[in-house]
Amino acid sequence: MTVIVLTHCPVGLRGFLTRWLLEISPGVFIGGPSARIREVLWAEVKEYAGNGRALLAYSTNNEQGFEFETHDHKWHPVDHEGLTLIRRPNEQGESAPAAQKQGWSKASKRRRFGNR
């Protein structure tokens, strides 16, 4: 099983994919092509996506039962001890640690110091 999801891609690319896959929702294509055809389709998607984004997911014989690839997504697949997970960038950028508020919460202050 192969699934390709397109976002903001040219209409011609969607037309090309309908030769091999079924479009079940706008920009969502599903089908069962061979591995060779899937690789050719993915290469065409990456070449003609323009400013759009694309995601490819396909079934395979691994622990998760599937693999996926992304093209021009902010979210990237990352291998973590044999499992593929998605890394989402945080609000300040990929390398910046998440800002944590320092000090006690208001509820904690009330419990600790009484109702002042």
Q: CA 32, 68, 52: angle at the middle one, nearest 5? A: 95
Does residue 2 surpass a pLDDT of 50? yes
For residues 13-31, average pLDDT: 95
The residues with which 6 forms a beta bridge, in sequence order, are 54
- Higher pLDDT pick, 81 / 59: 59
- Higher pLDDT pick, 37 / 50: 37
Structure tokens that stand for 15 in this block: 């037309």
Most confident of 22-26, 98-102, 106-110, 111-115: 22-26
**Distance of alpha carbon 31 from alpha carbon 2, whole angstroms:** 5
**Distance of alpha carbon 70 from alpha carbon 63, whole angstroms:** 20
- Given a contact cutoff of 8 angstroms between Cβ atoms, the answer to whether 56 and 45 are in contact is yes
CATH class name, domain 2-89:
alpha beta
